[in-house]
Amino acid sequence: MKRYAYYLSCINESMTREVDKSIELWQKDLGIELVKMHESTCCGGSNLDYVSPKHFALVNARNIAVAEKMGLDLVTSCNTCLLTLRSAKKKLDESEDLRNEVNELLGKEGLHYRGTSDVRHLLWVLIDDVGLGAIREKVKVPLKNFRIAPFYGCHILRPSTILGKDDPLEPSSLDQLIEALGGKTIPFEHKNRCCGFHTLLVAEEESLNVAAEALEEAITAKADFIVTPCPLCHTVLDGYQSKALKQTSLRQSIPVFHLSEMVGLALGYSEKQLGIKRHMVS
Amino acid sequence: MNCRKEPINEEHMTDSTIQHHEATRDVTFRVHRFNPQVDGKPYFDDYTIQVEKGITVLRSLNYIKEHVDASVSFRAFCQAGICGSCAMRINGISKLACTTQVWDELEKGREPGVIKVEPLRNLPLIKDLIVEMDPLVGKMKEYSNWVDSKMPENEWGRKEFLISEEEFLKYDKATDCILCASCVSECTILRANEEYVSPAVLLKSFRMNVDSRDSRHEERLAELVKDHGVWDCTHCYRCQEACVKHIPIVDAIHGIREDALAVRGVKDTSGAKHAEAFMEDIEKKGKLVEATLPIRTNGMLWTLRNLLPMAFKMILKRRTPPPPPLVKPSKGIGTFREMFREMTEHVKQDHKK
């Protein structure tokens, strides 16, 4: 059983609680254990870095230092947490002065940032550690009847200098996972585009335009559902779907699944067990 | 460097390795065509020419124009990646035709042997591959994208402005911008609303605002925080990923936001209030209090008008974020708060310095 320090994302503890619920169901089936980091705090959600770069470094040095104390790599199931934590790690690893400054404060809690734990997305763990072959063997209900539109989201792809797992122009990891689970991916131009989440409360109309484009493509291509590895993308594409589609002439809707739910379905868990009924679009 | 000791046997080669070892091959350039004087709508013309390895997309287009079809229109000047005039979308991505190798693009195309060439997005089309740059120039004027000297005019030419290396490093990368507009073409928000300031103009604005010789800092900042300005960036990083000079454009955008918060506070824009809410919540609970985030960003009226219908459905789906008292603080929040506040003191000291 390979163990990881599981970072608790704010959104997965509030609006998208089904993400962690579904991971808990199947993690051991795939030979992994995600140990919850109850000490972790909000990463700053792509905002704290410019509100106060020093607090941003402190907060995320602490988050990573908690994983280091556990002797495990940090794993998250949110794209923006992934980018934020990896950005902080890069800054900390490149600056001894910054490391020293935050470590002086972290000492109060018996923590110390060393840079020894990697920061990874759950999707990367499934592909690189569990392996597509092993996943294929565990599939109980292949997704063979489904045409699936993979929506990667920005912060698992760009900037590639900080992320670097997938080619941001032609990402393939989520496509590979879908195929391993027996599903069929559809060609999806919007797979590496933006969902508009980070401006939903600031420039709502623009964000809804952005989301509507992706939804329109998936619906027109007759996908059965969209899948995303990011709960923030899910919040826009599912939660704001009806509002976004009002900007188009389309009158259909399309379900949007979390990566963790899609894995759960293929491993034989029910929609009810996985929390899929909590989605705004059924 | 890879060294092969044995001769390459074609039987063991994939299509892409065959391409690599061929000295010349036939390549089809699928070129976007549109002449507003005669065409009702755009279309594509295919030009198949023999291309040698090492040839750029721009040289291929020049060849097509000179030898195949003189009516194909595109902009190009320096042919060396300096002037920025030949930016276009090659296989869907905005980049410079003069620094893009045909051989590299052959591996990226959807159809073997075909390279698709289109004009930049998010700027009005003039003809074929040529877009109108005036909207971009107009925005550069609107946001004062030049240094307006602090030096009195009577001292110009008599006195030097000395810039420290430390200051120069703040905008060194930003000065690499050649205004090719690749970032403009890739921008998510500009695609959704043409009034948005654009990444190139934000980059220039940042560059001018950190320059100590400039006198327009406050005015420029006041423009940047208005609607369609710096707070409308959705951090998708498409601009940065496409930048032909590898400039960290999003860092510059965040630099303007940091500056705006420091100089203007959070009073005047929803973007600033939204960002500041993260700081408050992390200090209080270690967690984001999502239930009140819309209210703190845009006020009660906006929240009721925009989110109430959705909130009812969320309640039915048990999807609403917990109210503030039910947001459980992170474990160890007491010591965390102490550290957080001590860091606030560090920041104050830094500002004094």
- Chain A contact present for B191, CB below 8 A: yes
Q: How far apart are the first and last CA of chain A?
A: 35
B18-33 residues labelled b (16+ CB within 10 A) or e (exposed): ebeeeeeeebbbbbbb
Alpha carbons B27 and B114: distance in angstroms, whole number: 6
Nearest to A158 among B236, B282, B320 (CB): B236
Kindly give, in sequence order, each residue whose CB lies less than 8 Å from that of residue A178, ignoring residues fewer than 6 positions away. A143, A148, A150, A184, A185, A227, A262
> Tell me: the pLDDT tens digits for B137-192?
999 999 999 999 999 999 988 988 889 999 999 999 999 999 999 999 999 999 99
Q: How far apart are the first and last CA of chain B?
A: 49
With an 8 Å Cβ cutoff, are B350 and A54 in contact?
Answer: yes
With an 8 Å Cβ cutoff, are A279 and B238 in contact?
Answer: no
Region B28-49: mean pLDDT is 97
Cis peptide upstream of residue A159 (ω within 30 degrees of 0): yes
Nearest to B192 among A53, A101, A210 (CB): A210
pLDDT band at A78 (very low <50, low <70, confident <90, very high): very high
Q: What is the pLDDT of residue B352?
A: 87
Residues 102-141 of A with CB under 8 A from B: 105-106, 108-109
Phi-psi region of B159 (alpha: psi -120 to 50; beta: other; left: phi over 0): beta
Chain B residue nearest residue A190, CA to CA: B188
Name the amino acid, one letter, at B342: E
Q: What is the pLDDT of residue B3?
A: 33
Every domain of chain B and the residues it spans:
2-12+21-130, 133-264, 279-352
ipTM score of complex: 0.96
Chain A hits for B305, Cβ within 8 Å = none
Alpha carbons B145 and B133: distance in angstroms, whole number: 15
Region B60-86: mean pLDDT is 98
Kindly give, in sequence order, each residue whose CB lies less than 8 Å from that of residue A145, ignoring residues fewer than 6 positions away. A224
Question: Which of B85, B88, B120 minimizes the C-alpha distance to B105?
Answer: B88
Q: What is the pLDDT of residue B21?
A: 57
Coil, strand or helix at A235 = helix
Chain B hits for A282, Cβ within 8 Å = none
Does CATH number 3.40.50.2000 belong to domain B133-264?
no
The pTM score is 0.94
> Tell me: the pLDDT tens digits for B288-332?
999 999 999 999 999 999 998 889 999 999 999 999 999 999 999
Kindly give, in sequence order, each residue whose CB lies less than 8 Å from that of residue B144, ignoring residues fewer than 6 positions away. B205, B208, B216, B219, B220, B223
Alpha carbons A26 and A28: distance in angstroms, whole number: 6
Q: What is the DSSP letter of B149?
A: B
Fold of B2-12+21-130: Ubiquitin-like (UB roll) (3.10.20)
Minimal C-alpha gap between B353 and chain A (Å): 15
Alpha carbons A98 and A92: distance in angstroms, whole number: 6
